[in-house]
Structure 1
Amino acid sequence: MEQEPVPKRVRSYVWEHFDLISPRKVKCLICAQELTYSSNTSSMLRHLRAKHPETTPNTAATDASAAAAGGAGVGAQQGRQAELDEALVNMIVLDAQPFKVVEDKGFRAFVQKLDPTYVLPSRQTLKSMVDKKYEEAKKKSINELEKAEAVSVTADMWTSITMEAYLGVTCHFINENMELASVLLGVGHFTQSHTAENLRDAMELQLQRWGLRHKVHCLITDNASNMILCAKLMAVRNLPCFAHSLNLVVKKALEQTPVLTDIRTRGRRIVTFFKSSVKAKEKLAEVQNHLQTPPHKLLQEVDTRWNSTYLMLKRLHEQREAVSAALASIPTDIPPLVSLDYDAISECLEVLAPFYLATTELSAERIVSGSKVIPIIRMVQHKLASKAAGLKNETAGLLCQNLQQILATRCNVETIRVLALSTLLDPRFKTLAFGSQSYAQEAVAKLTAECATTIRGESAEPSTSQSAAMSEPNPEAGAVDNLWELLDSRVGATQQIPNPTANATVEVQRYLSEPYLSRGEDPLAYWKTRATTYPLLFSLAKKYLHMPATSVPCERVFSKAGEVASRRRSRLKPRTLETILFLNKNL
């Protein structure tokens, strides 16, 4: 007996309108379009509903009832299908779900229960829908960026689970509503060696693709030498990532504090023990419950992030009684931390806390952060100086001293022009944020000079009508005008040519004399209401206040990239990865 060409488990009515022309292909009998066949009828049913709605039983029934009621059943059903399609695409890109989720039995059953009329797309169709969404989102982002007057760019490198390198580039600007905005320009597959020249070429290509090359105000990167040289080769101002800079300061200070290094080493062993032993983990939970200690897990230190050192020590200090009791009740050769260790940890945490808070605040997105670098560094220095005298523990005192010295050497931020001007242009800080008033006055002079340059750039010859009005002879004046010709010409010249420096000085001083905003207020909202009051400074505020203080936006993209390119999706193509990350960031 001959085998049926169509699998026996398929009993859908759609086979009345399709022929199976190969194991992986079907052909519509109505319009002759060929579709991929993957053991289910989803793509065929979707095709019939989209192209030939009159053939579907549900549609026919809906049409009949809708016609009787004077409605439009087909349109409503198609509209519902489109809404759910969009929701599915959003779920894929926002939650980093693989395309094959639409083939998972549990997910299909769940969707069927929610809405039996919804036809899930095939994996291939879903990918096409995501690609279409990408093109729409990219077009929208291009329109936004065309209106931006200046942009700052962050860049960073990342390696996927399959050991493929990517260059991430994000763009930051102030939009036409005086709000901070950002766009992920791309996460490009980087197959070349990570030289400054290759990075430069990739960056230039990305910026030209978006039409942004002439708008780049500065490039924010980590302190890697190839990134710094890349900015130099591009002739673009480079700003270091200040979260990375603070990380280097603290790591260096920790290395120069040997007693604390020993405590950290023993702390890591304790954390590893409780994380790797089920029995130890259960015992710690039991002791926490008995002592009514917060049931928090211990946190492990990571070499590349000093913040993890702070969090590990803080959690060990919080759980010191529970950890000591648990270790004492389990046979182990792990040496516990003793009272003297915890005394050192306690004061070291006080010394490190300002750095942790500073890093967290500077790394925040969707708020003005570049203007905070100078005041935050200044406040950290103030905190260290005020704590130094009251420290009782020798280890904490040495750590504090190391931090003060290294911070002063590596973070002389008040001399960095773009940071100084952004701080001045932030009405919460102005000149009061500077530790040195001489640096503050230098910044005021630079701001005034840039305003004057703006005036000179905007100055133009008087219009024809104005020139005619000024030079039109007055017949009644007669020969008297000739007498005053020299003086009139000099007065006319002063009226036509403004004094840029004087005008700039007046505007800057008027702004500086205004009351300060409170720290919780929005500086961009302030400038939105001062566009006509301070037109020169308003223009410069849009140029300087959009700069992020760190390259963390790129790092967060890569954190999401790690979710997308997980082991379940390790075969994801680089182009698809970039598409999903772009939508995840820019939707």
Structure 2
Amino acid sequence: MARSKIWKYYEKLDNNCAQCQLCEKIIKTSGNTSNLMKHMKTHPQVDVNDTESVVIRGIYKREADAVTAKKRSKKLSSHLHIKQEDGQIIKAENVDIGEQCEYDSFGDSRVAVAVDSAKEMVEDNLSWPAEVESESLDGQATVIADDIIEFEPSLMGDGEQCEGETLYQLEELPLANLEEVETYTTKNRQNVQKNLENDQLAYFVCRDKHPLEIIQGDGFKQLMHAFCPIYRLPTVEQLSVHINKLAQRQTAVLRQRFANLSTIALSCAICSTTTNGNSNSKATRLDAQQQLELVAHFYEGDNWRSRTLIVQSLPVHYNAGNIVEWLDRTCNRFDIDKSKIVCVVTKNSRLLENAVAALLGAGRHLPCFGEILESVFEMVVQRHEFASLCEKVRRYVLFYLSTGVPSMQLQLELDEKQHPITTYEMLERYVQLAPQLDKLLRSQLDAPPSLTPIELEICHHLLAVLKPLANAARELCRPDTSSYPSASKALPIAYTIINELKQSRSSEHKYAYELRLFLVRQLEERFETMEKNIFLAMASLLDPRFRNMPFQSSALVAKYMTQLYDQMQHHEEIGMETACTAEDDFWTAYKALSHEKHKHSTVTSDCDDEIATYFCNNISSLQVEPMLLWKDLAQIHPFLYSLAKKYLHIPATATPPVRIFTSAEAEVAIQREKLRDEQMNNILFMADCTKEEWQL
């Protein structure tokens, strides 16, 4: 069977993959040429049926002469004086030109590389002249710029240091024989494979946030040797350079993405690391290493993305001016237009609030909703009637865990005082298992006293009061959702908690009644402030799952509705085009007709505009992401859809809620403490990249 003509444009690496000689992308073959043909369509300049074309790596020559190229190779060889010692070619001098060249020797094969000119080409990003003359013997053949199609070379391996030798992606000179072609192909394939393996190693380090020194461990070396004996691990410095190179490439990608965005939201927090890993301990907080963490939140199509931009170690003494400088520098690094930043979410820090005001102006700050709930929980734990019961249970649980009784040990955990919700969970588990615990420890004479039946009943009532608050925290920490909950959930969650607490209960204990009134008062004070925040309000109003439902003040709702009408009028006056994600298929027209029919059949005559229509309809399913709902609603609410994309990517918390309510913050602190400052930012930046962005 004749060999397919497509192979002229590829180098076969093995039975399952081949490398395109034009762009150096590796394509899976799967035993046939279908993928190769499909990839070649990405190079529309190439005519696959052109039998007279010649391919040299990175260049497609339409009118080249193979015989002329061979003569050129012989002519070049006649100008080289080669010095050989013990079968290894050391160097050569160009007798006619006087230009010193270096050689690589692999057995009997030799590859000539013009080092000085090649390095110069690498530094110039392989820029080619407008006109290239071929060195034929008769000097007749000339290939002009119109006959050459350039392709961007692969970035992998350009100037990368690898095991003591410099790898350059160079344009090869014409080779004298097939043995040299085979040798060059083998070496190039090895270099590509080496970079792919280093990418996999970098992914392992960054994704799991390991220190680079992990590759120096004997166990890791043995593991790598067992899986791939021929793979030579890079040094820590070489891997650091490789990750830095990947980070620079990804930074350029993000710049382009941010340039195409209309709005973006940021979250900013100051985190602590300590030598003992207890980042929340007040005794060690002053000695902790402070770090500034900045994360960007935005929509890519209908998908919400969060990307860590910087994790900056702070000096011992810093102020709001220093933070403004670091934030401004980060915005410049990623070409983030400050006018596109909707708001910045921070924890309760006057320093950060002042920095945001100085960077973006007043009214662009949003408080962390998770921290608001945590502060209410902390106030509950400090109340005397609750604290005394928890202290008694804490001593009992500590003794039980020390006995080593295996039956229910995994179901009981000691609380962490810096995370009040864990105190609630400890008390909840104890109340559930109290009868079994008493039976197990009845024979233990030194066991601390357990709760009395009256105290158990009080605990039942107190836990019932706190259950809505605990469920809200768990909802924010749900593992099946994004690590950052949407700000549109803040008002509905707070509204639901308050209304649950206001429900009357029969035969409620006095302590539980007092606790319930205390919680309602504290939450209503905070809810009033939250309702007045334009970002939280607009996010809830523009979320089809909530709309105007989670508001207590009707006057505020009327105010926000007026603002929406004013914005829509301004929008219509300037004639701004609104985007729509409707797909160009047959069902697009059907959706438009169905929405129009539904509007006329279910909405009263007063609802004659898209804002009124939107708020007259019922709330949408709570189980669907809001932007997926907007794909259908955008047909009849184009203005509100464009506004929804501005507010729905705002996060409700400054850090992932699991780091607020659980010990995950301490685990993050311990993890980051192992990373060196010069490596930490690149590792954490690349940790957020998807596999597609890693190109693995």
TM over 0.5: yes
Alignment CA distance shift 1:558-1:575 (3 Å): farther
Structure-2 separation of matches of 1:160 and 1:224: 18
**1:366-419 alpha-carbon deviations (Å, 9 max, x no partner):** 676211212111111121122x42353332222212111111122223332222
* Matching residue of 1:270: 396
Alignment CA distance shift 1:227-1:49 (3 Å): closer
Alignment CA distance shift 1:565-1:418 (3 Å): closer
Aligned identity (percent) is: 22
Structure-2 separation of matches of 1:506 and 1:333: 71
* Matching residue of 1:182: 306
Q: 2:483, 2:657 within 8 Å by CA — same for their partners in 1?
A: no
Cα shift at 1:333: 6.1
Residue of 546, 552, 562 corresponding to 1:445: 562
Alignment CA distance shift 1:230-1:393 (3 Å): same
**1:133-160 alpha-carbon deviations (Å, 9 max, x no partner):** 2112222222222222112211111122
In proportion to residue count, which structure has more strand? 2
SS of equivalent residue, structure 1 residue 183 = strand
Cα shift at 1:300: 2.7
Work out which structure has the larger RCO, using CA pairs closer than 8 Å and 6 or more positions apart in sequence: 1
Structure-2 separation of matches of 1:17 and 1:104: 37
- Say if 2:222 is the partner of 1:109: yes
SS of equivalent residue, structure 1 residue 565 = helix
Alignment CA distance shift 1:328-1:201 (3 Å): farther
Residue of 671, 678, 684 corresponding to 1:564: 671
* Structure 1 unpaired stretches of 5+: 1-15, 19-27, 34-42, 53-62, 289-293, 461-503
* Matching residue of 2:498: 381
* Matching residue of 1:153: 266
- Say if 2:386 is the partner of 1:260: yes
Cα shift at 1:522: 2.0
Q: After superposition, where does 1:90-109 map in structure 2 within 5 Å?
A: 90-109=203-222
SS of equivalent residue, structure 1 residue 553 = coil
Structure-2 separation of matches of 1:85 and 1:446: 54
- Say if 2:410 is the partner of 1:296: yes
Structure-2 separation of matches of 1:130 and 1:29: 28
TM-score, normalization: structure 1? 0.73
Structure-2 separation of matches of 1:165 and 1:367: 22
* Matching residue of 2:144: none
**1:407-442 alpha-carbon deviations (Å, 9 max, x no partner):** 112222333222222111111111233334443333
- Say if 2:526 is the partner of 1:401: no
- Return the letter of the residue paired with 2:682: T
Structure-1 separation of matches of 2:244 and 2:162: 22
Cα shift at 1:94: 1.4
In proportion to residue count, which structure has more helix? 1
Structure-1 separation of matches of 2:416 and 2:318: 24
Alignment CA distance shift 1:565-1:436 (3 Å): closer
Q: After superposition, where does 1:165-564 map in structure 2 within 5 Å?
A: 165-175=290-300, 177-191=301-315, 193-212=317-336, 213-234=338-359, 235-236=361-362, 237-256=364-383, 258-275=384-401, 277=402, 280=403, 282=404, 284-285=405-406, 288=407, 294-332=408-446, 334-363=448-477, 365=482, 369-386=486-503, 388-390=504-506, 392-412=508-528, 413-458=530-575, 506-531=609-634, 533-553=636-656, 561-564=668-671
Structure-2 separation of matches of 1:272 and 1:198: 45
Alignment CA distance shift 1:148-1:110 (3 Å): same
Q: 1:171, 1:183 within 8 Å by CA — same for their partners in 2?
A: yes
Q: After superposition, where does 1:36-47 map in structure 2 within 5 Å?
A: 46=163
What RMSD, in angstroms, separates the aligned Cα atoms of the two structures?
A: 3.6
Q: Which stretch shows the higher mean deviation, 309-318 or 149-158? A: 309-318
Structure-2 separation of matches of 1:524 and 1:104: 46
* Matching residue of 1:137: 250
Cα shift at 1:515: 4.4
Q: 1:251, 1:306 within 8 Å by CA — same for their partners in 2?
A: yes
Q: 1:255, 1:261 within 8 Å by CA — same for their partners in 2?
A: yes
- Return the letter of the residue paired with 1:407: L
Cα shift at 1:549: 1.0
Structure-1 separation of matches of 2:413 and 2:576: 61
Structure-2 separation of matches of 1:242 and 1:231: 17
Alignment CA distance shift 1:407-1:145 (3 Å): same
Alignment CA distance shift 1:29-1:426 (3 Å): closer
